[in-house]
Chain A
Amino acid sequence: MTEADEDRADALFHALADRTRRDIMRRVLAGEHSVSTLAARYDMSFAAVQKHVAVLEKAGLLTKRRSGREQLASGDVQAVRSVASLLTDLEQVWRGRIARIDDLIALDTTQQANTDQEG
């Protein structure tokens, strides 16, 4: 790791080492949220939430844009994922599908057993 990478990792882990910030990340990864909408979700001041958003932004985990008087934040999934981790995520999708196929065909055997018992 280069010095810059180390700095980035520090910022990343610092940013995520806080429950509220992880919660904000979950929301902004799902879609764009205004900072005021986010602030309404937490039992803390608008300024405090804004500060959390700023930490996440500095770590490159989210991006902000302005729309009128609103600041809109969205999670930058690319920033935290390389192509390799994209493939890993895709693998998880596939593992889910394969597990569901397995469950579906296991149901055949169960139903067959029930039919056999009834017959």
Chain B
Amino acid sequence: MPVTDVRHDPDTLTLTITAEFAAPVERIWQVYADPRQLEKVWGPPTYPATVVDHDLRPGGRVTYFMTGPQGDKHAGYWQITTVDEPRGFSFDDGFADLDFNPDPVLPVSRNVYAFTEREGGTRATYVSTFESAEGLQKVLDMGVVEGATSAINQIDDLVA
């Protein structure tokens, strides 16, 4: 299991998750630098992601949409703030309409991804900080109808 550590901070609405991958830092960077690879890992199988614009430079934008089981589309963007190839990057994540105009109402999360060499592999640290619980909820609703379903399935297991 590549996930080695998870920290929840409900006060600051921050999730920090650490994983170790059996590949060099440059290889992990490539997952984010290549839109075709990024879309393979970003969305769950039931909500696949399609990356449209991809400019992984400070001030650049990455835009994507996710397609739900009913063909419903949900668009989002990354506004890239800092880039330190191949050691990591940071960005603000937000929602957009289908023309990728940022949604000004919905709050965004701030994200910092860092990759460091560890014993020939890579330790990746992902930090996501949300502005509000509503924003976090919205992220979960988008592409995570299955998250709600899995929560219900857990209750199923409990009462079975």
Chain A positions within 8 Å of B, measured between CB atoms, are 13, 16-17, 22, 25-26, 29-30, 75, 77-78, 80-81, 83-102, 104-106, 108
Contact = CB atoms under 8 A, between A and B. Distances in A.
Interface of B: 2-3, 6, 8, 10, 13, 15, 17, 19, 21-23, 27-28, 31, 37, 40-42, 44, 124, 126, 128, 133, 136-137, 139-141, 143-145, 147-152, 155-156, 159
Contact of A83 (B37, B124, B133): B133
Contacts, number: 106
Contacts of A30: 145, 148-149
Chain B interface SS verdict (over half):
helix
Given A29-B149, A29-B152, A83-B133, A104 B6 contact: no
A101 B41 contact: yes
A96 B28 CA distance: 16
Given A77-B141, A101-B28, A101-B31, A95 B3 contact: yes
Chain A interface SS verdict (over half):
helix
B107 to A, nearest CB: 13
A72 B99 CA distance: 30
Most chain B C-beta atoms within 10 Å of own C-beta, residue among A29, A101, A104, A106: A101
A71 to B, nearest CB: 21
Contacts of A77: 137, 140-141, 148
B42 A97 contact: yes
